[in-house]
A and B are shown apart, each in its own frame.
Chain A
C-alpha cells in the first residue's frame, strides 16, 4: 500500500498498467514491483518446481520471484524482473508458470508431492526406461516446470550493439561509484559511469542516510548533474555491466527508457562493448535472506528491499511489518518503518546481546522459525528462550547480512577471499587486471568508507594512467561499524528455502552432502541451486554455508562456485543485434546484378557473392528448361556470363615470375607476355588448394585469377608465402577483384560478337587460344583474355567496374541479336561438367594433383609449395580414388552428387566403397546425365560398370566409367 511521504516518485503523474489482465495505476518513478505492492498485490508468481505462491523478495536485479512476461505479441519478453521493469503507460504484464491462473494453479499439486521431489529426484526417477526420457519425461517436466516463454514468432523490434572507449569505467553509481567517477572526471580522464538503475545513487536512493548534510539521494543527484555537464563523462543509467573480458573489455547491457524505445527506429536494448584502460567496480552488495521454514511466503522480503520500497517508493509491503535480522540493518529498517508511520509487529534480533531504543515489540536472541499464509503472509512463529510465539503480521523484513557484489572480479577465473569479520566473501586484488573494487563490493559497508574507497580507487587508477590526482573532499556521512553474528538457516523441521527461483531448500543441500556431492560445484549441479536466471544471487553463499556445515568444513574451505558472465540475463536479441534480416551477412553484388534481376534471374549465393542461377524466358516453367536452352545457346551461338566474382590478384615486381613458380606447380616465369596459362596451386601438405589462369601482362606484371570461393584463401596464402617463406623475393600483390567487371563471351559466335563492339577487331592469328592483351571499347581501356571454361571458342572481357552494368547490357543485347543471350551458374556448371573441368567440388581439400590427373603439372625443373609432400608414397598410389567421368547405362537415369560407387554385384556397404560422385549435370548435348567423381584406380577403368548408390535418397544407378572430358576431347573447338 502507498503511504505518505515524498520518496522519489511523482504522485501527480499517474501511470496506468495491467497485470494479468486487470487494470491498475502506479505513479511516475515506480517499478512494476513497487506499483504492484502499492496496489496490495503480493502474489506475483509461482515457483519453478513446486508452483509455490511467491511475491517480491528484493528491489533490484537479483530478484528471483517476481518474474513476469512484459508486453504482448511478437515482442513479448518473458522472465522480466518486476523490480527492474520501469512502469510505463499501458505496460502489459502477465504472471508466469501457473495454470490456469495465478490464484488457482493446479500444478501447485507438485507442492504436496514435495517429499518425493527433492534433490536428485529427476536423476533417480526418470532413468528408466531410457527411451522414455526424451519422449515422455522431458516434455512432461518441461511443461510443468518452467518460466515464461517467447512468442515463437519473428520479432521486428530493433536491438543494437555499440562500442565505447574510456580511461576509467566505473561500474555502479552508488556513493563509491559516484566518488570514483567524480574524482576521475575532475582529473580530466574520460569516464564512463554505468549503473543498472534508472537514476544514479545506489543505496542512497533507498536509505535515509545523509551525505554532506543533505539527504543521500539529493547529494547523488547533485553529483550526477555535475558529471553529466562534463564533456569527458558518459553517464549510462539503465546499463548493467554484465561481464569482464580480456584486455579491459567489458560487456554491458543498456535498456533504453520506455519512452525512448518507443520512438520509431529506436532500439529496445543496446549491448555495449566498453574498452577501458582502468575500471573501478563499485557494484555494492546484495542482502541475503535467512532460511527458515516457509520463508518463501509472499510478504517476506529482504530488509534492504523493504527500506527501498518505504523510502524511495512510499510503499509498505503490509499494514504491519515484522523485522528479523542478525545485524544492525534490522534496527535501521524498523526505524525507517516507524518514521514512515508503518506499524511494527515485532523486531527480532538473533543476536543475544542486542538492544533497541525503538518503541516496538523487541525480541533479542530470537529467531523466526515458521511462517503461515499461503498466498500472503499472515503470521510468523518466533522461537525465543521461553518458547515459540506466534505473531500476526502481513510482512516480514529479513536481513542475514550482505554479500559484496564481486561477480565481475571472478570473470577471469579469480576466486574470492573469505572475511570472517563481516561473514562474507570479498574480491581479491587484481583478479581482473586493471579493475579495482571499491565500496561495499570490497566489504566497506559504511557510507563514509564507500565515499573514501571510491575516491581512493579512482586516485590509484589516475596515477596508473599518469593523470594528476585532484584533491576531492570526501563528504561527511555515517561511518557506523558493521556488527553481524552469522546466521544462515534456522534449525527446525519443514522446508526452509535457499534458492527461491529453483526451489532448493536446506534439506536438499544436506541431502546432496549425504549422497556425497560434497564439492560445492557438485552440490550445485545435483540440487540445481544457483542455476536459474538469477544465478543464485540471493542463495549461493547461504547454500554453501549450509553445505559447509553439513560436511563439517569451514566456509573458505568449501569455496564458491564459479562466477561466469553475464552478471544478469542478456537477451539474445541484444547479443545478436544487427544480425536480423539483411544484417546477417553482407551482400556482395556484381555490376550486372540489377540487369540480371530485371531479367528475372534467381540468385544463388557463392560465398558472399550473389550470382544468377539462370535467366528464365517466357514460357519456361522449370529451371532445367532455361538451363538446357542456355547450354545449347553457348554450344551453338554465343552466351554471356558475369565472371567478375573470380578472384583477381595483380602481381608486380622483378621477382614476380619466380614467386609464381614457387606458388604454382607449373612454370610461369617462362610464360610469354600476352599469354595466359592454367595453373595449379598446392597446399603445403601436397593437396590441391586452388586452380585458375594467370596472365602475363608485362615483363614484371602478372594477373592471377582464383576461384570465387578461394579468393580470400589464396590471397592469405600468397601473403604467408611472401612474408614467411620467400621474403627475399621482390614482389608485390594486391587484389583487383573489385576493380574489374569481367564477362565470359563464349560460343562459336563469340569473336563475331566482340568484333561488333571492340574499337579494333580481332582475328585468329592475333588472338590465339590462351592469349591476352589490352583492347578498347569506345575508347575505354579493357582487357581481353582468350580463355574458356565452357570448352567453346571463348573470351573473357574485363572493363573498369563503373562500366560493368553498361557492358553487360550491351553484350547481352548483341548476343541476343546473334541467337544467344546470358547464361547463369546452372548452365556454366553443365558446360564445364561436359568438358570435364574441375571446380572446388572436385578439389575439395582431400584430392591431390595425382587424383585429378594433373600430377604431370608438378614441374620437375623447380620446387614449389607442396611438391615434396605430394610425392609421398601414399599420395600417388594407383589404388587412390582418381577423377573419372560417369554416365548412367541402366534403367535408372539419375546421377546424384554425393552418392557412393560400388563394384557391380557388391553389397553397397562401407567396406565395399570404391569412390563417390562430386558433380552431376543433365547434359542436353548428350541427352542424359553426366557425372564427375572419384573412383579407386579409376583412370584404368574407363568402360567398366559400377553402381552408384545414394542411401539417403534411395537411388541406385548402374553407371559406365568414362573419360571425364566428354565434349571436344581434342580441344579443337576451343582453339580454332
Chain B
C-alpha cells in the first residue's frame, strides 16, 4: 500500500518573503504522564532521547528529536520511536498520522501568522523553543517557533487542505502589501 502525506503533492510555496512547505517529523507519539510520574518521565526522556520534558508552552530537544508541550498533561515526542522505558511512566499513543505539519519561514512569516493566529508573536515574546496550542483561523493548532523566522504549524490531518488554503491566502495578502 502506498503511503500518502497529509499534503501529498504540495510543492513548497514561496510568496513574498514567506515560504510554506510540508514537514515530515517522523514518528509522533503523544505522551501523557501518569499520576505523580512527571519527574520520572522527564528523567526517562532525558535518558532515552536527550531532552527533558517541556514546561507548558515550551519545546525541548532539537531538530530530529523534539518534545513539544501539547496541552494539559500532554507532550508530543516528534522524531524518534519512543523508548519503551517511557511507557512505565506515561500513556504512549502513536500519532504519526494524525497531524498535518507545515513549516512557515521567512521575514514575513510572523506577519502571515498574525493574520490567522491571535497569540503575541513578537520575537522577544514568542522565542525559539516556545510553543502554543492556539487557534489558526477556525482550527485548533499547535504552533512552535523553530528559529528566528521559522514556525512549525500542526493541525489535524483532515484539515490539511484548509490549512494550506488559509496560509496561502494570508501569504498572498501580506506579499501584496509589501513595498516594492
The closest CB in chain A to the CB of B74 belongs to: A734
Complexed CA–CA distance, A162 and B169 (Å): 13
> How many pairs of residues, A versus B, come closer than 8 Å at their CB atoms?
139
Contact with B along A264-286 (1 / 0, CB 8 A): 11110000010100000000000
Q: How far is the CB of B152 from chain A (nearest CB, A)?
A: 17
Which of the residues B30, B32, B90, B97 comes within 8 Å of A802, measured between beta carbons?
Answer: B97
With A165-B120, A165-B125, A586-B137 as known contacts, state yes or no: A738 contacts B158, CB within 8 Å: yes
- Check if A780 is an interface residue, CB within 8 A of chain B: yes
Residues of chain A with a CB closer than 8 A to B122's CB: 165, 190
Is B117 within 8 A of A163, CB to CB? yes
Complexed CA–CA distance, A283 and B172 (Å): 33
Is A736 within 8 A of B98, CB to CB? yes
Q: How far is the CB of B111 from chain A (nearest CB, A)?
A: 8
Instruction: Tally chain B residues at the interface, Cβ within 8 Å.
Output: 50
Is A275 within 8 A of B120, CB to CB? yes
Interface members, chain A 694-743 (any B CB < 8 Å) = 730, 732-740
Interface members, chain A 773-800 (any B CB < 8 Å) = 777-778, 780, 799-800
- Check if A540 is an interface residue, CB within 8 A of chain B: no
Binds A, one of B2-10, B47-55, B58-66, B143-151: B2-10
Is B162 within 8 A of A264, CB to CB? no
Residues of chain B with a CB closer than 8 A to A736's CB: 93-95, 98
Q: By CB atoms of chain A within 10 A, which of B1, B74, B160 has the most?
A: B1
The closest CB in chain B to the CB of A586 belongs to: B162
Residues of chain A with a CB closer than 8 A to B94's CB: 736, 739, 800
Complexed CA–CA distance, A15 and B120 (Å): 41
- Check if A861 is an interface residue, CB within 8 A of chain B: no
Residues of chain B with a CB closer than 8 A to A738's CB: 95, 97-99, 156-158
Complexed CA–CA distance, A266 and B138 (Å): 21
Complexed CA–CA distance, A319 and B91 (Å): 85
Is B1 within 8 A of A807, CB to CB? yes
Binds B, one of A2-10, A369-377, A577-585: A577-585
Q: By CB atoms of chain B within 10 A, which of A609, A800, A806 has the most?
A: A800
- Check if A589 is an interface residue, CB within 8 A of chain B: yes
- Check if A77 is an interface residue, CB within 8 A of chain B: no
Size category of the binding interface on chain A: 35 or more
With A165-B125, A739-B97, A806-B3 as known contacts, state yes or no: A588 contacts B156, CB within 8 Å: yes
Residues of chain B with a CB closer than 8 A to A609's CB: 158
Contact with B along A726-762 (1 / 0, CB 8 A): 0000101111111110000000000000000000000
Residues of chain B with a CB closer than 8 A to A265's CB: 172-173, 175-176
- Check if A803 is an interface residue, CB within 8 A of chain B: yes
Complexed CA–CA distance, A733 and B93 (Å): 9
- Check if A31 is an interface residue, CB within 8 A of chain B: no
With A162-B114, A586-B137, A732-B34 as known contacts, state yes or no: A260 contacts B176, CB within 8 Å: yes
- Check if A521 is an interface residue, CB within 8 A of chain B: no
Complexed CA–CA distance, A162 and B118 (Å): 8
Complexed CA–CA distance, A739 and B139 (Å): 17
Complexed CA–CA distance, A588 and B160 (Å): 8
The closest CB in chain A to the CB of B122 belongs to: A165
Q: How far is the CB of B20 from chain A (nearest CB, A)?
A: 15
Contact with A along B58-92 (1 / 0, CB 8 A): 00000000000000011000000000000000110
- Check if B46 is an interface residue, CB within 8 A of chain A: no
- Check if A142 is an interface residue, CB within 8 A of chain B: no
Is B35 within 8 A of A590, CB to CB? no
Complexed CA–CA distance, A586 and B166 (Å): 9
Is B32 within 8 A of A732, CB to CB? yes
Residues of chain A with a CB closer than 8 A to B93's CB: 650, 652, 734, 736, 739
Interface members, chain A 187-212 (any B CB < 8 Å) = 190
Is B177 within 8 A of A260, CB to CB? yes
- Check if A653 is an interface residue, CB within 8 A of chain B: yes
- Check if A941 is an interface residue, CB within 8 A of chain B: no
Q: How far is the CB of B113 from chain A (nearest CB, A)?
A: 9
Is A164 within 8 A of B114, CB to CB? yes
The closest CB in chain B to the CB of A581 belongs to: B165
Residues of chain B with a CB closer than 8 A to A161's CB: 115
Is A800 within 8 A of B96, CB to CB? yes
The closest CB in chain B to the CB of A757 belongs to: B1
With A158-B173, A732-B32 as known contacts, state yes or no: A801 contacts B157, CB within 8 Å: yes
Is A734 within 8 A of B91, CB to CB? yes
Complexed CA–CA distance, A810 and B96 (Å): 22
Is B115 within 8 A of A160, CB to CB? yes
Interface members, chain A 215-274 (any B CB < 8 Å) = 256, 260, 263-267, 273
Complexed CA–CA distance, A158 and B30 (Å): 39
Residues of chain B with a CB closer than 8 A to A578's CB: 115, 137, 166, 169
Residues of chain B with a CB closer than 8 A to A256's CB: 177
Complexed CA–CA distance, A734 and B170 (Å): 31
Complexed CA–CA distance, A800 and B33 (Å): 24
Residues of chain A with a CB closer than 8 A to B170's CB: 160
Residues of chain B with a CB closer than 8 A to A590's CB: 158
Is B115 within 8 A of A802, CB to CB? no
Which of the residues B121, B139, B158, B176 comes within 8 Å of A264, measured between beta carbons?
Answer: B176
Q: How far is the CB of A338 from chain B (nearest CB, A)?
A: 42
Complexed CA–CA distance, A817 and B140 (Å): 41
Is A739 within 8 A of B162, CB to CB? no
Complexed CA–CA distance, A586 and B96 (Å): 22
- Check if A805 is an interface residue, CB within 8 A of chain B: yes
Complexed CA–CA distance, A260 and B175 (Å): 11
Residues of chain B with a CB closer than 8 A to A735's CB: 98
Residues of chain A with a CB closer than 8 A to B115's CB: 160-163, 578
- Check if A620 is an interface residue, CB within 8 A of chain B: no
Is B98 within 8 A of A806, CB to CB? no
- Check if A877 is an interface residue, CB within 8 A of chain B: no
Q: How far is the CB of A423 from chain B (nearest CB, A)?
A: 43
- Check if A605 is an interface residue, CB within 8 A of chain B: no
Which of the residues B4, B156, B169 comes within 8 Å of A583, measured between beta carbons?
Answer: B169
- Check if A587 is an interface residue, CB within 8 A of chain B: yes
Complexed CA–CA distance, A220 and B172 (Å): 33
Complexed CA–CA distance, A778 and B3 (Å): 12
Which of the residues B4, B90, B95, B162 comes within 8 Å of A806, measured between beta carbons?
Answer: B4
- Check if A591 is an interface residue, CB within 8 A of chain B: yes
Complexed CA–CA distance, A124 and B14 (Å): 64
Residues of chain B with a CB closer than 8 A to A730's CB: 34-35
Complexed CA–CA distance, A609 and B157 (Å): 12
With A266-B176, A732-B32, A805-B4 as known contacts, state yes or no: A582 contacts B157, CB within 8 Å: no
Is A780 within 8 A of B173, CB to CB? no
Residues of chain A with a CB closer than 8 A to B173's CB: 158, 160, 265-267
Is B2 within 8 A of A806, CB to CB? yes
Q: How far is the CB of B28 from chain A (nearest CB, A)?
A: 9
The closest CB in chain B to the CB of A806 belongs to: B1
Interface members, chain A 632-659 (any B CB < 8 Å) = 650, 652-654
Q: List 26 A-B contacts (CB under 8 A).
A: A163-B117, A165-B121, A165-B125, A265-B176, A266-B173, A583-B166, A586-B138, A586-B159, A588-B159, A652-B32, A652-B91, A653-B34, A653-B91, A730-B35, A732-B33, A735-B98, A736-B95, A737-B98, A738-B156, A739-B94, A739-B95, A740-B97, A799-B1, A800-B94, A802-B5, A805-B4
Interface residues, chain B, with chain A CB atoms under 8 Å away? 1-6, 30, 32-35, 73-74, 90-91, 93-99, 114-115, 117-122, 125, 137-139, 156-162, 165-166, 169-170, 172-173, 175-177
A-B contact sample (14 more), CB < 8 A, given A190-B122, A736-B95: A163-B117, A267-B177, A583-B137, A583-B166, A589-B158, A589-B161, A609-B158, A650-B91, A737-B156, A738-B156, A740-B97, A801-B6, A801-B97, A803-B1
Complex A-B, nearest 3 residue pairs according to Cβ-Cβ distance, in ascending order: A266-B176, A652-B91, A732-B32
